[in-house]
Amino acid sequence: MTATLTYHGWDRRYGAAAADEVLAVVREVAESDEFILKSRALALETAIAARTGAAHAVACASGTGALTLVLTALGIGPGEEVITPAFSFVASASPIALVGAKPVFADVDEDTATLDPAAAAAAVTVRTRAVLPAHLFSCAAPMASLRALADRHGLALVEDSAVSLGALVDGRAAGRHGDAGVFSFYPGKPLGGIGDGGMVITDSEPLATAVRMLRNHGQDLAVRFLHHRVGFNCRMDELVAGYLLRALPRLDGALASRRALASRYESRLRPLAPAVVPPPAGFGGRFDGRSVYSYVVRAADRERLRAHLLRRGVQTAVYYPRPLHLQPVFASLGYRAGAFPVAERLAATSLALPLYPGLTPSEVDRVCDAIAEWYS
């Protein structure tokens, strides 16, 4: 009986050497008496700005927080609409509702599972203020088309690039295609922290300044306890920043090992199509194959395949079992089943396979063998 292969493999992501590194960061931060948004967060902002080429990088508490800060800084609120994909993680849509605006869903492209520009265009109304596409799993949204759409209608473009740090989209750093982009440093991400963290990048100085103010209770950037705006507590801890500074030089290596694992999946699973459909070749092309986050396949008999894999000791995950427009949280928006057929089909068929640095090629083979067995 082989051991169960867990989906996340958390206990294999950080080894004994990592413990020494984490201990060193904790001790160093404690000795410095600098805890929140101090020298390490500033250094990380500088490093991420340099890496992406963005004029400004602003560290905050999470990727979700980053999106909420950007929408607030853009002045988006009640009575206004923001167009976002019907198939994504909830945080592509919830910040829109949190700032009091209305998420307007649009269907996604079948291959890449990212916002379909034609569907987005059809969703524009006089109340639309912004378009908020998300790069999902390992595919990039079509930013050039969406930029053109936003420009045509005078809309803001906010790039949910939470999963895409280190990737290029059509040759330009992910996160730099809209008015602002965001990154998440959730521990599962390619550059994962030792706690939650996020970042806003933008070339707009007024937007960056507004986000800096809003992340710390709307306080004046120089005068403590003087609050210009109703801001949030959405700050990055020095512990997280200190670790990320050490881990950032390893990002390209982490992305390369994810790519190698994804290639192995691709070569083993492609022959099984269309029973099981791997992600599009080259992940749709726009990322130039540089960014691999989750490896999500599609299978018409997803639930039975999933049960079979579990019997073979392979855990999987379902991203996401229900599209956003049919989630209870958005029930009041009044969408019905059938509104976004692609999103609904993806929700019924998508299955995420284990993929993380430290997963071995033979474990990928084990997953693929079990899938092949099911379809033999």
Contacts to other proteins by CB under 8 A? 9-14, 16, 18-19, 22-23, 26-27, 29-33, 35-36, 61-65, 68, 90-91, 94-95, 97-98, 100, 186-187, 193-196, 217-219, 224-233, 235, 237-240, 318-322, 327-329
**Do residues 235 and 61 lie in contact, with contact meaning Cβ atoms separated by under 8 Å?**
yes
Specify the residue, 181 or 192, whose C-beta has the smaller distance to other proteins.
Answer: 192
Specify the residue, 217 or 268, whose C-beta has the smaller distance to other proteins.
Answer: 217
Mapping DSSP to helix (H, G, I), strand (E, B) and coil, where does residue 340 land? Answer: coil
Specify the residue, 155 or 305, whose C-beta has the smaller distance to other proteins.
Answer: 305
Interatomic CA distance for residues 182 and 228, integer angstroms: 24
User: Shortest Cβ distance from residue 108 to other proteins (Å)?
Assistant: 16
Residue 14 amino acid letter: Y
Interatomic CA distance for residues 150 and 276, integer angstroms: 36
Specify the residue, 22 or 339, whose C-beta has the smaller distance to other proteins.
Answer: 22
User: Shortest Cβ distance from residue 219 to other proteins (Å)?
Assistant: 8
Report residue 129 CA to chain centroid gap. Answer: 22
User: Shortest Cβ distance from residue 247 to other proteins (Å)?
Assistant: 12
Judged by phi (left if over 0) then psi (alpha if -120 to 50, else beta), residue 334 lies in left
User: Shortest Cβ distance from residue 78 to other proteins (Å)?
Assistant: 10
Specify the residue, 94 or 114, whose C-beta has the smaller distance to other proteins.
Answer: 94
User: Shortest Cβ distance from residue 151 to other proteins (Å)?
Assistant: 30
Interatomic CA distance for residues 181 and 63, integer angstroms: 10
Please report, in angstroms and rounded to a whole number, the separation of the first and last CA atoms in the chain.
Answer: 22
User: Shortest Cβ distance from residue 96 to other proteins (Å)?
Assistant: 10
At a CB cut-off of 8 Å and minimum separation 6, what does 303 contact? none
Specify the residue, 63 or 117, whose C-beta has the smaller distance to other proteins.
Answer: 63
User: Shortest Cβ distance from residue 202 to other proteins (Å)?
Assistant: 20
Q: Got the DSSP string for 89-138?
A: -GGGTHHHHHTT-EEEEE-B-TTT-SB-HHHHHHT--TTEEEE--B-BTT
How is residue 313 written in tokens? 């000791």
Q: What is the largest CA-CA distance in the chain?
A: 68
**Do residues 236 and 41 lie in contact, with contact meaning Cβ atoms separated by under 8 Å?**
yes
Specify the residue, 268 or 322, whose C-beta has the smaller distance to other proteins.
Answer: 322
User: Shortest Cβ distance from residue 138 to other proteins (Å)?
Assistant: 18
Specify the residue, 231 or 289, whose C-beta has the smaller distance to other proteins.
Answer: 231
CB-side exposure of 11: number of CA atoms within 13 Å? 3
How is residue 125 written in tokens? 């109304």
How is residue 74 written in tokens? 């853009």
